[in-house]
Structure 1
Amino acid sequence: MVWLGVDLGNARVGLALSDPELTFAHPAGNIHVAGDYFFAIDEVLNVIEDEHVDHVIVGLPLQMDGTEGKSGKKARRWAANLEKRLQAESEDSDSTEYQIPQVSLIDERLTTVSAHRQLFEAHKASNKHRPVVDQQSAVVILQTALDRTREQ
């Protein structure tokens, strides 16, 4: 069992994968999207297939008061599009063994702040954060989901 964490950004979509025991999240790279993260869906589908992902956790950027703004609605639409594509791929698949991964949204408020702090604590120079902060944010998103699952 492997989970995929996704941090949607305007320049990059950060990815993180879990270990098979669903204990730890680790960075899995970025997808460069140049302003429209809907372009990342095909590459995310490839990662899901290549890594045999069972569950996708997408960061939901809520506003500080907990309401869903423009970015939150866009993330919700992205997750719905991913679900539709997964369903279509399942219908096109000849394999009866294909399990459609579950797609969930999780509050991602302050994950970028947390990711920057973790990178700083790892002695990564702040001018080097930008290329890796999205995947580190995906790690935070995924690790939060993994921890919540264990606590239940």
Structure 2
Amino acid sequence: MEVTLAIDYGSARVGTAVSVGWMARPLDVFPHGSIESLLARLLALCTQEQVTKIVVGLPLNADGTEGEQATVVRGFATELAQTTNLEIFLWNEYGSSQAAQAQMIGASRSRKARREKLDAIAAALFLQEFVEQNGVGAERVYPKDQQRHE
């Protein structure tokens, strides 16, 4: 069975979610820390959850253009591709954080609880969209030495 890990990569925190089959669920939010420690934690999570592919949220602007954070995320996704043989994809995550915030406010969570889980819920939201659309429109990420476009 397909198990997909979603990563909502941010400069302070990194949210994760997983889908087994058709249902996405939020996992953990990690403090960013060093790239080496973050990659180690994510790869351990992949082993623990028996992940078969990874989708990284690409933060596009409302008009579909890429800003500075999208460039940072692309670099992270390429580094991640260097460390694993799993397929890695980029997926438009526009609006997922706002939707996660609205969902959490509706659930009457405290501000602190919302902040602690926000990135994982955002990851689950864009992962659910990725799964429902069978990844159509996702961009495959390759290690630096294998860069190509599909």
| TM-score, normalisation: structure 1 | 0.81
Match of 1:56 in 2: 54
Alignment of 1:65 onto 2:78: no
SS at match of 1:53: coil
Aligned residues: 136
Q: Which runs of structure 2 are paired with 1:17-56 in the superposition (5 Å)?
A: 17-19=18-20, 22-34=21-33, 39-56=37-54
Q: Tell me how far apart the structure 2 counterparts of residues 78 and 64 of structure 1 sit (CA, whole Å).
A: 22
Q: Tell me how far apart the structure 1 counterparts of residues 97 and 4 of structure 2 sit (CA, whole Å).
A: 20
User: Higher helix share goes to which structure?
Assistant: 1
Match of 2:10 in 1: 9
Give the AA of the match of 1:112. Answer: S
Q: Among residues 128, 131, 147, which one is paired with 1:143 in the alignment?
A: 128
Give the AA of the match of 2:67. Answer: G
Measure how far apart 1:123 and its partner are.
2.1
Q: Tell me how far apart the structure 1 counterparts of residues 108 and 23 of structure 2 sit (CA, whole Å).
A: 21
Segments of 5+ residues of structure 1 without an aligned counterpart are: 87-99
Residue 4 and residue 150 in structure 1: after superposition, are their counterparts in 2 closer, same or farther (change >3 A)? closer
Q: Among residues 78, 82, 105, which one is paired with 1:120 in the alignment?
A: 105
Measure how far apart 1:150 and its partner are.
8.5
Give the AA of the match of 1:102. Answer: E
Give the AA of the match of 2:17. Answer: A
Measure how far apart 1:7 and its partner are.
0.4
CA contact (8 A) 1:56 1:101 kept: yes
Q: CA RMSD in A?
A: 2.0
CA contact (8 A) 1:12 1:37 kept: no
Measure how far apart 1:65 and its partner are.
1.5
Measure how far apart 1:47 and its partner are.
0.9
4+ residue segments displaced more than 2 Å: 36-39, 125-128
Q: Which runs of structure 2 are paired with 1:68-87 in the superposition (5 Å)?
A: 68-86=66-84
